[in-house]
Amino acid sequence: MGNQVVHFQIIGKHAPSLREFYEKAFDWKFNSVGGPADYSLVENAGLSGGIGACPEGGPGHVTFFVAVDDLASALSKIESLGAKNLSGPWPIPNGGQMATFEDPQGQTLGLVQQ
């Protein structure tokens, strides 16, 4: 089996109203992480996820994150295939790390090493 999708993010202009929408639409509950993006983790979506605000009022987007065993190797491989590293790697609370990249056609995706 290939690498699995393990996390998603929904980022928009106003995090509280996004949380309110998804709470009402899907009965999702949230655990605030805080920070400048007013980020919250979804507690009961069946897949790890989070909702937050765009930095500096940028456009909203949805990103999914794929689990990898070695983040540096995965970034090197996808860059050799024409992708561009957008950010990271950066540490995450459980001791792992994440990064985002743009695929050759302009979609943003993420990688996570847990």
Question: For 71-110, what is each residue's pLDDT tens digit?
Answer: 999 999 999 999 999 998 999 877 899 999 999 989 999 9
What pLDDT score was predicted for residue 69? 95
pLDDT single digits (tens) 35-80 = 888 999 999 888 889 999 987 767 888 999 999 999 999 999 999 9
Q: Do 5 and 47 meet the contact criterion of CB atoms below 8 Å apart?
A: yes
Distance CA 25, CA 3 (A): 29
CATH code reported for the domain at 1-61: 3.10.180.10
At 100 the pLDDT is: 94
Domain ranges, ordered by start, for the chain: 1-61, 68-114
The Cα 58–Cα 24 span in angstroms is 25
Strand 39-42 with 48-53, pairing: antiparallel
CATH superfamily of 68-114: 2,3-Dihydroxybiphenyl 1,2-Dioxygenase, domain 1 (3.10.180.10)
Indicate yes or no: pTM above 0.85: no
Whether residue 1 is predicted with pLDDT greater than 80 in this model: the reply is: no
Q: How far apart are CA 59 and CA 41, in angstroms?
A: 20
Question: Comparing 1-61 with 68-114, is the CATH topology the same?
Answer: yes
Average pLDDT for residues 10-20, to the nearest whole number?
Answer: 93
Position 92, amino acid: I
